[in-house]
Amino acid sequence: MLNLKGIDHINMRVTNLNESVRFYQQLFNFKEVEAGFSSSNERYKIIGTSRVAFLALYESNEPIKADHVGHIGFNITNFDEVLNTVKKLKLEVAQYGDVNGIVNYAHSQSIYILDPDKNEIEISSHFGGAN
């Protein structure tokens, strides 16, 4: 059995690398840690926060199917600021939950937003639904 320390990164294909990097940097203040070209000559950047979360974003030369991942979940410590941030950045909110898009679970709250490629991003108040 392997001893899991955590999820290292999520690898995603995007249609516009610069737009996607900007989206995640504005939302989570992610820093660029690596950039280059893949073996198939796709531009990529790895962005994130050390020991927290990384995204490996690859600019696709072909159309992207948004259904290859159900959603990506991020836990934040300042959930009370989520609506202000969503409004300030003019983010698209998936239509779940209440009028603001907040979903109330038994032990946590979440909001689901869409990135520039319509990948669904869950932002939650408690890690793992507080389980």
**Burial level of 124, CB count in 10 A (0-12/13-18/19+)?**
buried
Residue 3 has pLDDT above 70, yes or no: no
Task: Report residue 26 as tokens.
Answer: 């504005």
8 Å CB contact between 43 and 84: no
Sequence-distant (6+) residues with CB within 8 A of 117 are: 12, 13, 14, 15, 20, 64, 66
Q: Output the pLDDT for position 129.
A: 62
Task: Report residue 109 as tokens.
Answer: 């709250």
> What gap in Å lies between CA 38 and CA 43, rounded to an integer?
6
Average pLDDT over residues 73-88: 89
Residue 12 has pLDDT above 60, yes or no: yes
Residue 60 has pLDDT above 90, yes or no: no
Residue 88 has pLDDT above 60, yes or no: yes
Average pLDDT over residues 56-60: 90
Residue 125 has pLDDT above 80, yes or no: yes
Average pLDDT over residues 3-10: 74
